[in-house]
Structure 1
């Protein structure tokens, strides 16, 4: 059940981030084309900045689900047991606490800015653009909780996610080199 939920979130987030990246790329290409033709889009800068923020928030949720965000496995694994697991628990609690606070602050910002709209696209509410903060924070918390059991087991057994990722990339490159 947990693995199925993790897979569901991974697929949804992956496709959503890809769609956001395609939209941002399209906006940038269209804006550059307009500028080359001597015209400029008034809404480009504001929308591109919002899209980049959305990619960052939703991408970070995907990264934590895969446990591919910045970490310090080598330092963590150098700590002896059971202190290593206490360090993992503390780090997870601090991170979760930060994202709970971020979700609350983001929701508060949304309610304060509720009646406002974007400067360049007055029909788009600022609360829609800012919704990424509480939604992204909650998604991060969900993804952190979903990926924690595997991370806990691997850390307890002394497996480094960073080293596994590096070895996986080396193996992929070796296979490419062998096929060339």
Structure 2
């Protein structure tokens, strides 16, 4: 079981991002070809490209949290003594987790409204609930990846800065 879940856990966001970005690129390319070569437009390609872009953004955000590539000014923080650096990182992660929880609540309420009062996309006619579900999926994954960083950090003895490899703590370089 672990043999199958390991690669899925390590590459899930990457795979979804790659698929979504590929779908988006193909749709935009098809739209350009249709407009400039055939003088006609596809009705559905813009909608699919927009949905794929939103999915890629949320999956990319989760990937960036997992890899600690999200927006931070770590260079300045890493110049501080390690206890202060750790405190700043803990505070920032706590605020990010609180934001994710807040957005999960709001997103869940939004999806409940969409489930009750169905709305369809203009070109494809699909229920808006399905593409909009990325809000709950994305914020859940971001929160889970944030928790995962701290579980791994705690299992490693809680040394250093959470989510940073020990060999990079002196240079401030992130993994």
Structure 2-normalised TM-score? 0.80
Q: Which residue of 2 aligns with 1:161?
A: 173
Tell me the distance in 2 between the aligned counterparts of 1:9 and 1:121.
32
1:118 Cα deviation from its structure 2 partner: 0.7
* Structure with more helix by fraction: 1
Give the RMSD, CA atoms, in angstroms.
2.3
1:32 and 2:32 aligned: yes
Work out whether residues 99 and 140 of structure 1, in 8 Å CA contact, stay in contact via their aligned partners in 2.
yes
| Cα pair distance change 1:100/1:159, threshold 3 Å | farther
Work out whether residues 102 and 137 of structure 1, in 8 Å CA contact, stay in contact via their aligned partners in 2.
yes
From 125, 128, 131, the equivalent of 1:126 is 128
Deviation string 1:70-119 (CA, Å, 9 cap, x unpaired) is 22111211222422222111111000111111112111111112211111
Q: Which runs of 4+ in 1 moved over 4 A?
A: 4-7
Deviation string 1:114-159 (CA, Å, 9 cap, x unpaired) is 211111111x111111101110000011112223445527388445
Count of residue pairs the alignment pairs up: 159
From 123, 144, 147, the equivalent of 2:146 is 144
Work out whether residues 121 and 128 of structure 2, in 8 Å CA contact, stay in contact via their aligned partners in 1.
yes
78-87 or 9-18, larger mean C-alpha shift? 78-87
Work out whether residues 110 and 130 of structure 1, in 8 Å CA contact, stay in contact via their aligned partners in 2.
yes
Q: Which residue of 1 aligns with 2:71?
A: 70
Deviation string 1:1-48 (CA, Å, 9 cap, x unpaired) is xxx977532212211211111111111111111112111112232222
Indicate the SS of the match to 1:42: coil
1:61 Cα deviation from its structure 2 partner: 0.7
Indicate the SS of the match to 2:123: coil
Tell me the distance in 1 between the aligned counterparts of 2:93 and 2:64.
15
Tell me the distance in 1 between the aligned counterparts of 2:83 and 2:57.
34
Q: In structure 1, list runs of 5 or more residues that go unmatched.
A: 165-180
Q: In structure 2, list runs of 5 or more residues that go unmatched.
A: 154-160
Work out whether residues 120 and 128 of structure 2, in 8 Å CA contact, stay in contact via their aligned partners in 1.
yes
Q: Which residue of 2 aligns with 1:14?
A: 14
Structure 1-normalised TM-score? 0.78
